[in-house]
């Protein structure tokens, strides 16, 4: 699974050992996904605070009052894509500081860093809110999260992307669990319409507070929600820093955010070690000087510190 053994990611490996995640990584390697139990992910209070904050944001956007045991609607909220039984809240990193903390969750960071060779960058942080209904078409919305080349192919020698969902309500098949095709990450292409076969798909059932983590090449979607009430999650989609992010993140990072989160790790996760997107004055190297990874520094043919 490791793309480039030349990169020294010994600190990530130490984190994986101390968080006891090697077996989970071996599942990601074999099956394409893994479930980490709540006790390894975060405490109950963190889960409840995130859930309450998401409910508050969703209520403000929809104009509805939400109750976990009742179905809902998107109300005044228009952001696409949405269906008659699902909407998605976007750009949560900027919605509250609890999400800045979540981005640095040790389990999320260790697994994503491992898969992406210590070059993980946040692509998007969202919440899928579902209630009773089909949500996707018959093929359960099967897709891989990795951006394909034009012919649909995905990288086979390394990972460009990985995703994780923090389950804020229970995931059972009837509650609209994540649907996955185990081992499909090894096929290294996006699924086609006729790739969908009921027998290949399994639900990933997990209690609230669990983290489901998957390789960006894994074919996945979701089961229809057959029960009343809400299914709520928090997804943290990470890509290798050379890939264009889904959300515009680095330009929106404020000095207050950096004051609250002074680590290099935070700055790298939000893409500040990236000089692309420059204008006629050429690249601003400060991000790389301040936050660049050793690997990035090695690639320079001149010493950025002399600039
Ligand atoms: O839970 C779902 O509806 C699918 C989520 C998904 O595809 C994703 O987070 O990448
Ligand atoms: Fe997805």
305 C-alpha to ligand 2 centroid (Å): 40
235 lines ligand 1 (CB under 6 A): yes
82 lines ligand 1 (CB under 6 A): no
Q: Which residues contact 123 (CB under 8 A, 6 or more apart)?
A: 161, 237, 238, 239, 243, 245, 246, 247
Shortest-distance Cα residue to atom 3 of ligand 1: 222
Return d(Cα 122, Cα 283) in angstroms, integer.
Answer: 21
Average pLDDT, the chain: 93
Q: Which atom, in ligand 1's list, is nearest to the CA of 126?
A: 9
Q: Which atom, in ligand 1's list, is nearest to the CA of 178?
A: 1
161 lines ligand 1 (CB under 6 A): no
Q: What is the pLDDT of residues 31-48, one digit of tens each?
A: 999 999 999 999 999 999
Q: Which residues contact 159 (CB under 8 A, 6 or more apart)?
A: 1, 3, 115, 116, 146, 215, 216, 217, 240
Q: Which tokens hold the place of 137?
A: 């078409």
126 C-alpha to ligand 1 centroid (Å): 10
Phi, psi values for residue 77, rounded to 5°: -85, 125
Return d(Cα 272, Cα 292) in angstroms, integer.
Answer: 8
Phi, psi values for residue 286, rounded to 5°: -60, -35
270 lines ligand 1 (CB under 6 A): no
Q: What is the pLDDT of residues 281-296, one digit of tens each?
A: 998 888 988 998 887 8
Rounded average pLDDT over 98-113:
98
Domain ranges of the chain: 10-241
Return the ligand number nearest the Cα of 222. 1
Which residue of 81, 90, 143, 165 sits with most ligand 1 atoms within 8 Å of its CB, as the best mutation to test the pocket? 165
Let me know: does 175 contact 224? Beta carbons within 8 Å: no
For tokens 């209904």, name the residue: 133
The predicted pLDDT at position 136 comes to 85
Tell me which of 2-6, 63-67, 69-73, 175-179 is least confident: 2-6
The predicted pLDDT at position 305 comes to 58
Confidence band, pLDDT 50/70/90 cuts, at residue 168: very high
Q: Which atom, in ligand 1's list, is nearest to the CA of 130?
A: 3
Q: Is the pLDDT of residue 300 over 90?
A: no
Give the β-pairing of 178-180 and 161-167: unpaired
The predicted pLDDT at position 302 comes to 64
Let me know: does 125 contact 93? Beta carbons within 8 Å: yes
Return d(Cα 224, Cα 134) in angstroms, integer.
Answer: 4
Mention the CATH class of domain 10-241. mainly beta
Q: Which residues of 129-154 are buried (b: 16+ CB within 10 A; e: fewer)?
A: bbbbebbbeebbbbebbbbbeeeeeb
Coil/strand/helix, residue 200: helix
218 lines ligand 1 (CB under 6 A): no
Which residue of 32, 139, 178 sits with most ligand 1 atoms within 8 Å of its CB, as the best mutation to test the pocket? 178
220 C-alpha to ligand 2 centroid (Å): 6
222 C-alpha to ligand 2 centroid (Å): 9
Return d(Cα 87, Cα 96) in angstroms, integer.
Answer: 19
Shortest-distance Cα residue to atom 6 of ligand 1: 221
Return d(Cα 155, Cα 283) in angstroms, integer.
Answer: 29
Give the β-pairing of 161-167 and 211-215: antiparallel
The predicted pLDDT at position 6 comes to 46
144 lines ligand 1 (CB under 6 A): no
Shortest-distance Cα residue to atom 7 of ligand 1: 221
């Amino acid at each position: 699974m490791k793309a480039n053994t030349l990169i020294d990611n010994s600190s990530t490996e130490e984190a994986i050992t101390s968080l006891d995640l090697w077996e989970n990584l071996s599942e990601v390697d074999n099956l394409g996904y893994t479930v980490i139990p709540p006790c390894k992910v975060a405490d109950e209070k963190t889960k409840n605070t995130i859930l309450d904050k998401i409910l508050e944001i969703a209520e403000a956007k929809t104009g509805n009052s939400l109750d976990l045991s009742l179905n809902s609607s998107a109300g005044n909220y228009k952001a696409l894509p949405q269906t008659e039984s699902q909407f998605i809240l976007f750009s949560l990193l900027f919605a509250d500081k609890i999400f800045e903390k979540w981005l640095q969750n040790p389990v999320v960071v260790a697994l994503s860093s491992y898969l992406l060779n210590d070059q993980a960058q946040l692509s998007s942080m969202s919440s899928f809110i579902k209630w009773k209904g089909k949500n996707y078409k018959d093929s359960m919305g099967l897709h891989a999260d990795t951006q394909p080349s034009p012919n649909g192919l995905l990288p086979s020698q390394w990972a460009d992307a990985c995703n994780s969902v923090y389950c804020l309500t229970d995931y059972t098949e009837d509650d609209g669990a994540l649907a996955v095709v185990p081992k499909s990450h090894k096929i290294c292409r996006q699924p086609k319409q006729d790739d969908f076969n009921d027998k290949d798909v399994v639900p990933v059932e997990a209690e609230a507070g669990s983290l489901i983590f998957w390789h960006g090449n894994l074919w996945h979607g979701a089961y229809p929600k057959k029960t009343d009430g809400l299914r709520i999650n928090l997804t943290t989609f990470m890509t290798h820093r050379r890939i264009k992010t889904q959300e515009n993140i680095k330009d929106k990072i404020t000095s207050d955010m950096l004051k609250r989160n002074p680590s290099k790790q935070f700055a790298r996760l939000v893409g500040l070690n990236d000089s692309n997107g420059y204008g006629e004055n050429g690249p601003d190297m400060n991000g790389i000087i301040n936050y660049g990874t050793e690997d990035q520094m090695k690639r320079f043919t001149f010493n950025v510190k002399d600039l």
